[in-house]
């Protein structure tokens, strides 16, 4: 059995991200060395788990702690630690905060929002058609749709989107912003959310921010004001940033797989399974992040992880594991079953997963039915991709139809 005293750490990430290509070294490691010692640009050395079942163990086993990262120099790709608030908590502290949002993101509550999301999507496409091609799908569709939905759910003024969308970038930045700018933008975002919470305390309304204020005021011994501010800001940012990124990613992948796109256009009832397959297939993260620390010695993937050592779980690699997914590198919009970990796993499974699913379904169905001739308006090599963020995505996606 291997332990950390017997191996040399390898640099990670293995390579710079190339569009939405998955580094082939993940497949090699799954076959030969499923758990390896790695060194990231910042923080201490750690382990990287690449096989599906090992990844689920690291994310779901109580012997691995996220909260312990606060006491360590966690391995990461950014100068500052990425985790804070809910993402750096274990139960029961994690549970009391997560409960604040759980009721708002139930499948039933999200389904009630579907008609409104569809109305927004149709209005955005109407405006695109009226303007005529080419249009930037990121600016005209992928960005405003999730922002307006999360604004209405939380109770945040949509008119303020140009401010908080910019500030939210600090949460997903690795090197795109200086540490000083990140602190400034986070301060702006927290101040903005704090002001909205103060308004709700004086004038409650029927939205999630009001529910948070009520929970805070009824449980002052369990919830601090800053915890609520930080959590609400995180929901606002995460509630739109990833979906804003994934909509154009999904469209790009479909355009690169014309046979599957034609299949979806011919049978839009495939949209729900298509979304699940794209969540599996598209590598959203630039690299594995948010390590878990072993609270005791644990054997995983033939490696002895000692108590106090961090393990990074690669969602990207797990979602391409051939032991779980037949022909894992092939896009199959009707794949079933599809137990992907695109929304992570365990207690930190994405609290907004149902909302994201619904928005992605609405977005895809609207685009394939309303714009059946959708295509790139520029040669693929001219597309510009984001950099310096923890997520992969397009800066713009010029399309015609």
| pLDDT digit string, tens, across residues 311-350 | 999 999 999 999 999 999 999 999 999 999 999 999 999 9
The domain covering 2-400 belongs, at the CATH homologous superfamily level, to: Cytochrome P450 (1.10.630.10)
CA-to-CA separations, 131 to 245, 286, 298, 385, in angstroms, rounded: 23, 34, 58, 25
pLDDT band at 382 (very low <50, low <70, confident <90, very high): very high
Distance (Å, whole) CA 287 – CA 137: 26
Please state at what angle helix 93-102 crosses helix 208-218, rounded to 10 degrees.
140
Q: Is residue 111 within 8 Å of 355, Cβ to Cβ?
A: no
Q: Is 87 exposed, middle or buried (0-12, 13-18, 19+ CB in 10 A)?
A: middle
For residue 221, is pLDDT > 60?
no
Query: Averaged over 137-148, what is the pLDDT?
Result: 96
Query: Averaged over 275-300, what is the pLDDT?
Result: 96
Enter the DSSP assignment of 92: T
Q: What is the mean pLDDT of the chain?
A: 92
Radius of gyration (C-alpha) of the chain in whole angstroms: 21
Instruction: Provide the 10 A C-beta neighbour count for residue 116.
Output: 14
Q: Give residue limits of the domains in the chain.
A: 2-400
The number of residues in the chain equals 401
Distance (Å, whole) CA 348 – CA 83: 12
pLDDT band at 153 (very low <50, low <70, confident <90, very high): confident
Distance (Å, whole) CA 269 – CA 392: 28
């Amino acid at each position: 059995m291997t332990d950390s005293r017997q191996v040399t750490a390898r640099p990670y990430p293995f390579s710079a991200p190339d569009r939405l290509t998955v580094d082939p070294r993940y497949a090699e490691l799954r076959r030969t060395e499923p758990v390896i010692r790695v060194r990231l640009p910042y923080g201490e050395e750690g382990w990287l788990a690449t096989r599906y079942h090992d990844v689920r163990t690291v994310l779901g086993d109580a012997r691995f702690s996220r909260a312990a990262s606060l006491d360590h120099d966690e391995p990461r790709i950014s100068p500052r630690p990425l985790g804070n608030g809910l993402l750096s908590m274990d139960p029961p502290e994690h549970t009391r905060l997560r409960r604040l949002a759980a009721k708002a993101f139930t499948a039933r509550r999200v389904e009630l929002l579907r008609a409104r999301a569809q109305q927004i999507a149709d209005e955005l496409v109407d405006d695109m058609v009226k303007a005529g091609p080419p249009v930037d799908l990121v600016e005209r569709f992928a960005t405003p749709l999730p922002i307006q939905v999360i604004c209405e759910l939380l109770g945040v003024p949509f008119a303020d989107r140009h401010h908080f969308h910019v500030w939210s970038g600090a949460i997903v930045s690795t090197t795109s912003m200086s540490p000083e700018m990140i602190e400034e933008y986070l301060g702006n975002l927290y101040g903005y959310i704090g002001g909205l919470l103060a308004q709700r305390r004086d004038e409650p309304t029927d939205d999630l921010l009001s529910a948070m204020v009520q929970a805070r005021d009824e449980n002052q011994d369990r919830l601090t004001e800053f915890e609520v501010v930080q959590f609400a800001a995180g929901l606002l940012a995460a509630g739109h940033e990833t979906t804003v990124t994934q909509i154009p990613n999904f469209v790009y992948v479909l355009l690169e797989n014309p046979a599957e796109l034609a299949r979806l256009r011919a049978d839009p009832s495939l949209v729900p399974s298509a979304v699940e397959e794209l969540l599996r297939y598209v590598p959203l993260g630039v690299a594995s992040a948010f390590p878990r620390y072993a609270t005791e010695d644990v054997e995983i993937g033939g490696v002895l992880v000692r108590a106090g050592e961090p393990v990074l779980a690669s969602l990207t690699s797990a979602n391409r594991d051939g032991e779980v997914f037949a022909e894992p590198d092939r896009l199959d919009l009707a794949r079933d079953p599809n137990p992907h970990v695109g929304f992570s796993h365990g207690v930190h499974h994405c609290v907004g997963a149902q909302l994201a699913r619904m928005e992605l379904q609405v977005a895809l169905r609207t685009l394939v039915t309303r714009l059946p001739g959708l295509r790139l308006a520029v040669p693929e090599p001219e597309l510009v991709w984001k950099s310096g963020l923890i997520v992969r995505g397009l800066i713009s996606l010029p399309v015609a139809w």
